[in-house]
Structure formats: structure tokens, C-alpha cells
Amino acid sequence: MEILESAIQEYLDSLLPARPEVFREMERLAEEESFPAVGPHVGSLLELLARSVRAQRIFELGSGFGYSALWLVQGMEPDGRIILTDRDAGNLQSAREYFRRAGLEEFAEFRQGDALNLLELEIGPFDLIFNDADKEDYPHVVDLAHSRLAPGGLLVSDNTLWGGRVVDPVPGDETAEAIRLYNHKLALHRGFLTVQIPIRDGVSVSIRK
């Protein structure tokens, strides 16, 4: 299912701001390897959201090779710090190299392991948590993220529409069911105010009350 009509998507693409070559290189790599990077539309949103809360501490659940994290750092305060996480050591090494090339390595920590377990080890508070973890783990993120966010902090989550499959998941589609449950928990959670944005594959933005 296409979230937006192709003509609208093309129009939005034409409005994208210029971005450094390192971003374009990462976008080409993601396309070549069919890696689910968030893309420049969501990336620009991440930068905007980080700026909006003047983020100093950011935690990313599932960082891949660092594309979304670089966008977040673009909007982070000059004295800020971001923690990247991934199960794959190779992904983290690539992320570190891209951060080095962008001159931003000093603002980042790279941690290998299960993203939720790594967040549990943190005391917080964080100003922004970006959730792009394993989708089946999404329902477990809600309360954990709430406990680690500062009041007014943001929980931002990718893939919350999952190609439209959350509308009516087929039996046995555990991924779509997990994301559907996650969206439902966020909508009902008394500690969050959440909006769903139909951009790319769906992004939810939740502010901690």
C-alpha cells in the first residue's frame, strides 16, 4: 500500500533541502543493499524535532549504519550527546566511520547489543528517544521509554504504518500485530500525547507529559 499518491510524493521530493554528500552516499548505500534507512523526509523531521526540544541527550533504539542518528545530531544542541545501538558490530563500525567523516564522532557513543536492554541500563533522562528497534519489540518500548524521558521529551517511532498492513493484519503477521499493538498502547497511554504522521512508512511522535 502506498501511503501517499505518487504525484504527491514526487512533489514533496522536489521540496527536499540540500544535504551533505555523506547523507547522499548513505542513501545510495541503503538503496543498493535494500537497507531500510528512514530517508531524507523522515531525517529532516528528526532534525526538526531534535531542534524543537533543544535536545542534549538522545538515545536511538536500532541505529543501523547511522543515517538517522546523523540527522538527529544535526538538530542536537552543540554540547549534546547521542547513544547509537545495534546488534550488528559491522553496522556500528560503519556508523562510527560515517560520523568520523562528518566530523561528529565526538558527540556519539556506539553500543552493541539488544537496544531495549541497553536502554534499561540507562538512568536518563533523555530529551528524545528514537525507536527503530526490532518491530516485534515495539510494544515493550512504551513504558520503558516513558520512564527514561524527561517531561516534555519526545518518543519518535519509525514504521508505525508498516506499509498499511497495520490496518487489517493477516493472521500470523506478528510484525504488523506488534506495531498495531504499539500504536494502540501509545494512543491510550496517560503519560504520552501522540500523533501519527503518514510520512514514508509512518512516524509517530509522542511527547511525555
- Over residues 178-204, mean pLDDT: 97
Q: Quick one: average pLDDT of 61-89?
A: 97
Residue 4's pLDDT band, with cuts at 50, 70 and 90, is confident
Q: What is the CATH number of the domain that holds 73?
A: 3.40.50.150
Q: Give Cα 20 distance to the centre of its chain.
A: 20
- Give the tens place of pLDDT for each residue, 38-49: 999 999 999 999
In a domain, 19, yes or no: yes
User: Are the CB atoms for 40 and 14 separated by under 8 Å?
Assistant: no
Confidence of residue 79 (pLDDT cuts 50, 70, 90): very high
Q: Is the pLDDT of residue 141 over 70?
A: yes
- Tell me, what DSSP letter sits at residue 202? -
Cell numbers describing residue 40: 531524507
What's the pLDDT tens digit per position in 155-168? Answer: 999 999 999 999 99
Global pTM value? 0.96
Cell numbers representing residue 92 in the block: 556500528
* 1 within domain boundaries: no
In a domain, 13, yes or no: yes
Q: What is the mean pLDDT of the chain?
A: 96
Write down the number of H helices and E strands in the chain: 8, 7
Question: DSSP code of 164?
Answer: G
Band (1; pLDDT cuts 50, 70, 90): low
Residue 176: give the domain boundaries.
6-208
103 belongs to a structural domain: yes
> How high is the pLDDT of residue 2?
67
Cell numbers at 127, concatenated: 530529551
- Does 145 fall in a domain? yes
- Closest to 163 (Cα-Cα) out of 150, 172, 173, 176: 176
Q: Is the N-terminal amide bond of 198 cis, ω within 30° of 0?
A: no
By residue count, the chain amounts to 209
The amino acid at residue 7 is A
Give 134's Cβ-side CA count (13 Å radius).
12
